[in-house]
Amino acid sequence: MPKTEYWQWYVEESAPTEQHHHAIDHVYYAGRSEFQQVSVISTPVFGKMLILDGDTQSSQNDEKIYHETLVHPAMAGARDRRDVLILGGGEGATLREVLRHPDVTRCTMVDIDGLVVELSKQYLPEWSDGAFDDPRARVIVGDALAFMREDRDRYGVIISDLTEPLEDSPSNILFNNDVFGLIKSRLADDGIYVLQASTTAFHNLSLHCKMARTLRRHYRYVASFSHLVPAFDTEWAFLACSDTVDLAALDPAAVDAYCGKLAGENFFYDGQTHRRLFSLPLYLRRALAASGPVFS
Ligand code: SAM
């Protein structure tokens, strides 16, 4: 069989000296929104991919690992799942996962970039899988920080599915001590706040630890969990924060009972996966316990 020649490559840098090269089959969109550089491409291994400011956001073939992990541990542990808030979440897959639970009566998603939402509807409909048309979905195009300053509701679960807080990213304003306090004020007393929280690869875990240290000022329980997301080419991490629920201690049988109530089938998450997600390697436990920088 002759080897296919690829002439276009998407190169993601995880460090100035580390790169992952993806051959490109097709470019659906490449341009700039008011807020960020946006590309939608397809690659032979990962299928369609959304890329913002040079960072992979999700890929068709493994997005369920990321989105089930972001959503379901928090929803499984939540005392009240009726009203859920998503900060960011452009592709609509976080919304899709939340709406799979029959307890949910309203899920509000606030994403700053209408172009990302529209391109996701047009080119990545598998991600939202009809969630944007669900009558329980309230989709707002706007800044999540401005929304939380205006909004007076309190939510049982708040999910932060924002881009990495890089200096010139529109998500940067949502990562500081005051905003972590604001988010808590929008959470019910027994609610759970979960966020995508960067990588915990051994060479690059300072941002994750900084988020965890800062959030420990606000919550009794701050649990770190992670798994490899192949399209990101690294271990991807999350933080679950609550004053009443320690997700690391959730019983796998309770997780399986929760999963049994979801519409459709899970790809990745169940009680056994939950145990694996929250079993952290020694180097990470040490890094999380050490003192270090916090967000001011
Ligand atoms: N899985 C992703 C990752 O690995 O970083 C995050 C996915 S999602 C596409 C990130 C979304 O956050 C984007 O659609 C972006 O527009 C949105 N976003 C960034 N800053 C925001 C802000 N200030 N308010 C609301 N949405 C924001």
CATH of the domain at 232: 3.40.50.150
Of 36, 171, 174, the residue with max ligand 1 atoms within 8 A of its CB, to mutate for a pocket test, comes to 171
Contact assessment for residue 110 and residue 138, using Cβ atoms and an 8 Å cutoff: no
**Which residues form ligand 1's pocket by a CB distance below 6 Å?**
57-58, 66, 87-91, 110-113, 116, 143-145, 161-164, 170-171, 174, 196
Q: Which long-range contacts (CB under 8 A, 24 or more apart) does 114-117 make?
A: 114/33, 114/141, 115/33, 115/34, 115/38, 116/33, 116/36, 116/38, 116/50, 116/52, 116/90, 116/91, 117/90, 117/92, 117/141
The percent of residues in the chain predicted with pLDDT above 70, rounded, is 99
Catalytic residue among 161, 178, 233, 251: 161
Q: What separation in Å is there between the alpha carbon of 148 and the centre of ligand 1?
A: 15
Residues 171-179: what's their mean pLDDT?
A: 97
pLDDT value for 146: 98
Task: Measure CA of the first residue to CA of the last residue in the chain; give whole Å.
Answer: 57
The answer to whether residue 296 is domain-embedded is no
Statement: residue 109 has pLDDT above 90: yes
Looking at the chain, the whole-number percentage of residues with pLDDT higher than 90 is 95
For residue 1, being part of any structural domain is answered with no
Residue 7: pLDDT band with limits 50, 70, 90: confident
Is residue 1 scored above 70 in pLDDT? no
Q: Are residues 254 and 109 in the same domain?
A: yes
CATH number at residue 54: 2.30.140.10
Out of 162, 195, 196, 239, mutate this one to test ligand 1's pocket (max ligand atoms within 8 Å of CB): namely 162
Task: Give the pLDDT confidence score for residue 39 in this predicted structure.
Answer: 98
CA distance 253 to 263: 18
CA of 163 to the centre of ligand 1 (A): 4
DSSP label at residue 232: G
pLDDT for the residue numbered 290: 97
Give tens-digit pLDDT for 117-160. 999 999 999 999 999 999 999 999 999 999 999 999 999 999 99
pLDDT category at 187 given cuts 50, 70, 90 is very high
Residue nearest to atom 15 of ligand 1 (CA): 88
Query: Catalytic residue at 161?
Result: yes
Domain range for residue 278? 63-289
Number of independent structural domains in the chain: 2
Query: What is the token pair recorded at 262?
Result: 């979801």
